[in-house]
Structure 1
């Protein structure tokens, strides 16, 4: 479904004005535009017959889902990618939306921490390359010793390359054999300096993994099936940079969380702009947990995942088993 940024802003403005009964000043603050722009968008929506008694547009359901996600999880902004049918692969649409958002959002002088995975790799063709002075990219997870396409370092350096910036990598395996090894690498091999870069991130761009896919080919060698089963028994629903967490967004009690060579979650939450991009049926519970774990400010997902998240959150609240996340 073809759409432009102007279309999205216009329909979002109309939705908030006519459905949510927000004032023009409130809408201007939410969308980051001037009040005059809001007045113009509302007039254009009426001229296009998108506003009658209800809002009529192909984007209406998408906007409804985006606003529901924003209000439910305290997000600054949500982007929902449409699907051709419920069983379609969500990654291409999510990747396209993510690539467009990153192209618009990245600025000179930014320091951006990045994760890894299929979704992030798929965003690269959709990122508009340009030169940004002083742009820095920090890979948040080790793994450069493994020569695979979905190596954490691969996305980090290609993302930095897209904006002609500098890249900082963690030159270790993603997971080491013991806490002692991790401490030695950090304290004696100069890694503390790289980890410290995460304390001053302007933005964070990450995806998450579902626990069902924790032993796919790009994770093999780091996590055994016995480990995966033990994590499931402890309530793990997914991982963020190999930090395994439960549906309530709490890190589970398992040794792998102490041996992973990635930046601590507490550090990640300090970034003012936290972008989480992910989707798919197997990641719904993990995404709910991530709303608390990382408290994203921006969520990019697909329409089916958005519906599942909202339905599951409502069911959890009704059953008294969940809690609302906030940014």
Structure 2
């Protein structure tokens, strides 16, 4: 926000008790209160102590400052730009909500900026009895680190993909437990490998009573949080050890451009099924698509194709992305999205 303070010499409309007001404020407590609050960043309580008045008086002073145009408040052009683009993106892809993160001059990496913004959005969206399904990745991990500590004991945070042998930075169980710990929520980890060696072993795992009960909780999620991965050598799936080039090669040959919760999608967002799908333990794309509120946090120049694919097949109802990615996505929106028709078969 941009706040502009203008000197005024108009006396206050009502008579107030005499205060020791610095001369530069023209003996006007309204101007003095506005300066302390908007320019020096004091709280209303601190302003009240400085002026020797009640906090209610400070609230009245600040309102009068706005009424008399001593203070004018405007939205900066940078934020207007991102708000306008977010609304356009939401309309283009049929999203219920969208948040576009402005550039910060390179202070933070893209996934850190998106994760921080996603954390703010998440705490605004959570309700007391929510079951939040959580996937994994750099951006989800950044979100977990940016969350403030809260107490939401009625919320359940559930891991929707199995565990990996990768680094702690990208482990699914760490993303879930970090978010649950920050929120003071119940944590439900999925204690099974993300990928097992054969389809038969997966069937045996899925028959285990403990896993059956865990999946009942996971499948009851009314919100889900996920990132979108690329399929190049720098992608999270590759760096984490979750997958190998040999395992990914058949999917690439069939046109995979992105990964959502460990599952491959093509340029239109349609699932690409292969041998690995019969070995993966976790929610499928169809199951994710049935969750009422689906929060996608993703961006970066290397993920534009992947994020487009995820949006194109309506995997997300809410998107948090960066400015450059948003600018690239709007022109790509298909006519079916602009008319509100789903591309999901």
Kindly indicate whether the alpha-carbon contact (under 8 Å) linking 2:269 and 2:313 is maintained by their aligned counterparts in 1.
yes
Contact 1:244 1:257 in 2 (8 A): no
Structure 1 residues 76 and 94: CA distance shift in structure 2, 3 A: same
Counterpart CA distance in 2 for 1:154 and 1:289 is 27
Report if aligned partners of 1:74, 1:325 keep a CA contact under 8 Å in 2: no
What is the aligned partner in structure 2 of residue 82 from structure 1?
102
Pair 1:60-2:80 in alignment: yes
Question: Are 1:169 and 2:159 an aligned pair?
Answer: no
Q: Which residue does the alignment assign to 1:19? A: none
Q: Distance in 2 between matches of 1:260 and 1:253?
A: 11
TM-score, normalising length from structure 1? Answer: 0.75
| CA drift at 1:147 | 6.0
1:212-244 alpha-carbon deviations (Å, 9 max, x no partner): 134766432x32213333221101011111111
Is the 1:198–1:268 Cα contact (8 Å) retained in structure 2? no
Shift of 1:260: 1.3
Q: Which residue of 1 aligns with 2:290?
A: 270
Pairwise CA distance, 1:293: 4.1
Distance 1:99 1:145, change over 3 A: same
1:243 aligns with: 263
Structure 1 residues 167 and 88, CA, compared in 2 at 3 Å: closer, same or farther?
closer
Match of 1:311 in 2: 331
Q: How many residues align?
A: 274
Q: In structure 1, the residue corresponding to 2:170 is in which secondary structure?
A: coil
Secondary structure of the structure 1 residue equivalent to 2:114: helix
- Cα deviation code 1:75-121 (max 9, x no counterpart): 11100001145997311211111111112222322111001111111
Deviations 1:179-217, CA, capped at 9 Å, x for gaps: 111111001353122222233212111111111134766
Larger Rg: 2
Match of 1:251, SS?
coil
Q: Quick check: 1:190 aligned with 2:210? A: yes
Q: Give the superposed CA RMSD.
A: 2.9
The corresponding residue for 1:127 is: 147
Pick from 150, 167, 180 the counterpart of residue 200 of structure 2. 180
Contact 1:111–1:203 (8 Å) recurs in 2:
yes
CA distance in structure 2 between the partners assigned to 1:56 and 1:147 by the alignment: 40
- My pick for the range that moved more, 158-167 or 285-294, is 285-294
How far apart are 1:294 and its partner, in Å?
A: 4.9
How does 1:215-234 map onto structure 2 within 5 Å? 218-220=239-241, 222-234=242-254
- For residue 25 of structure 2, what is the aligned residue in structure 1? none
Distance 1:149 1:262, change over 3 A: same
CA–CA distance in structure 1, aligned partners of residues 155 and 264 of structure 2: 30
1:177 to partner: Cα distance: 1.2
Q: Structure 1 unaligned segments of length 5 or more: list them.
A: 4-42
| Counterparts of 2:163 and 2:235, CA distance in 1 | 15
Q: In structure 1, what is the equivalent of residue 159 of structure 2? A: 139
For normalisation by structure 2, the TM-score amounts to 0.71
CA distance in 2, matches of 1:253, 1:200: 24
For 1:182 and 1:189, locate their aligned partners in 2 and report how far apart those are by CA, in whole Å.
Answer: 14
In structure 2, the gaps of 5 or more residues are 3-65
Query: How far apart in 1 are the matches of 2:83 and 2:128?
Result: 30
